[in-house]
Amino acid sequence: MEQFSGRVAVVTGAASGIGFALAERAGREGMSVVLSDIEAGALEAAVEKVRGLGVKAIGVRTDVSKEADVETLAERAYGEFGAVHLLCLNAGVYNRQRATWLQSVDDWRWVLDVNLWGVIYGIRAFVPRMLAGGEEGHIVNTASMAGVITGGPGTAVYDASKHAVRSLTESLYRDLVVRTKQLSVSVLCPGAVDTRIFEAERNRPADLSVPEGPEPTSGVASALGQYPPEEMANQVFDAVRADRFYVLAAQQPIIEWTKMGYDRMFGGKNPAVSHSLLAQRDAGHPVE
Q: How far apart are CA 193 and CA 143, in angstroms?
A: 13
Using CA atoms, how far apart are residues 128 and 78, in angstroms rounded to an integer?
Answer: 12
How far is C-alpha 155 from the geometric centre of its chain's CA atoms?
A: 16
Cross-strand partners of 186: 140
User: Is 158 one of the annotated active-site residues of the chain?
Assistant: yes
| Annotated active-site residue in 158, 173, 246, 262 | 158
| Contact in structure between 34 and 58 (CB atoms under 8 Å) | yes
Measured between alpha carbons, how far is 246 from 240 in angstroms, rounded to an integer?
10
- Which DSSP string do the residues of the chain spell out, in sequence order? ----TT-EEEEESTTSHHHHHHHHHHHHTT-EEEEEES-HHHHHHHHHHHHTTTS-EEEEE--TTSHHHHHHHHHHHHHHHS--SEEEE----------GGGS-HHHHHHHIIIIIIHHHHHHHHHHHHHHHHTS-EEEEEE--GGGTS--STT-HHHHHHHHHHHHHHHHHHHHHHTT-SSEEEEEEEE-SB-SSGGGGGGG--TTSPPPSSPPP--HHHHHH--B-HHHHHHHHHHHHHHT-SEEEE--HHHHHHHHHHHHHHHTTPPPP--HHHHHHHHTT----
Show which residues are catalytic: 158
